Amino acid sequence: MQQQQQQQQRTVTDPVCGLQVDPREARFTSTFQGKTYYFTDPDCKRMFDEDPAAYVGTGSVSEGAGSMSQQGSQGSSRAR
């Protein structure tokens, strides 16, 4: 179990698709607001680069958190 926890701590979440990425092996990265984000493939990186704020929300998504809060907040401001 300890080994599994260590493995999880070594991965971060791709903010676009939500899959886990090992930063040491990631081939696709972008920096936004001083933080590096890691991606599983070039399509995820491209989508992020087109509108990074849509994927990080307030810019405070934790590495490895798996949070995809942008899905729930996209249409909320238009409802008024």
Cα–Cα distance for residue pair 29/73, rounded to 1 Å: 24
Tell me the whole-structure pTM to 2 decimals. 0.62
Per-residue pLDDT of 52-76, as tens digits, reads: 999 997 443 344 444 333 333 334 3
Backbone φ and ψ for 36, nearest 5 degrees, come out as: -90, 135
CA atoms within 13 A on the CB side of 44: 20
Cα–Cα distance for residue pair 60/43, rounded to 1 Å: 23
Per-residue pLDDT of 12-63, as tens digits, reads: 999 999 999 999 999 999 999 999 999 999 999 999 999 999 999 744 334 4
- What stretches of the chain adopt beta strand conformation (E)? 12-13, 20-21, 28-32, 35-39
The pLDDT score that the predictor gives to residue 4 is 57
